[in-house]
Amino acid sequence: MENTSSAQVSLPQASHDTDVVNYRYLALGLLSARVYTEESLELIEECVVLDFDRDGVALILSGDQVKPDENVRLSLVRKLEVRNPRDEPVISFVPGNVRYVNDIGDGVRVGIRLDYSLSQELDGAFRHRAIEVENYLERHHADAARMASSVYRIPEGYEIGGRMKYAS
């Protein structure tokens, strides 16, 4: 069922620079993530998802457990529209590369570019699931905006869409 709530939040729109990460959908309160090491799949942390699109995700971690250019695996879990806990996570162990780690006071904001290309067989499946997540976030964008203004603390300087400079 589509959410028709109409919370109005005026967050600034980001500029469209060419050297930035474009995560188009605000995901606060709608998704959580589990970040794993690339090889051993050891859980690094379960954390809040700030924003997401099929190309990447911005997370808020409690500490500095990952570094720019580090390869990780990521699973995403829906917080709304959950019919059966066995349906989760919506994306499991997708490979990604840490693009930036920014201190935000009581944690770090981490941008991860998703890399579907490691397996031709999984490429289509991962992309299909990512598009499903985008559709889910689009249906609930008013909920995310409401939570961004009332429940969660947005990192200072955050621009909707998660535009941040790539790590050099």
Q: Is the domain covering 25-150 a CATH 2.40.10.220 domain?
A: yes
Angle of helix 120-139 versus helix 141-150 axis, rounded to 10: 70
Q: Which of 21, 7, 11 is nearest to 162 (CA)?
A: 21
What integer best gives the mean pLDDT of the chain?
Answer: 75
72 close to 37: Cβ distance less than 8 angstroms = yes
Q: What's the pTM?
A: 0.75
Domain borders along the chain are: 25-150
- Looking up tokens 């720019």 gives 68
Segments of the chain with pLDDT less than 70:
1-23, 81-88, 118-122, 157-168
Per-residue pLDDT at 153: 72
- Dump pLDDT digits (tens) for 70-107: 999 999 988 776 555 554 678 888 899 999 898 888 88
- Distance between CA atoms of residues 104 and 86, nearest Å: 34
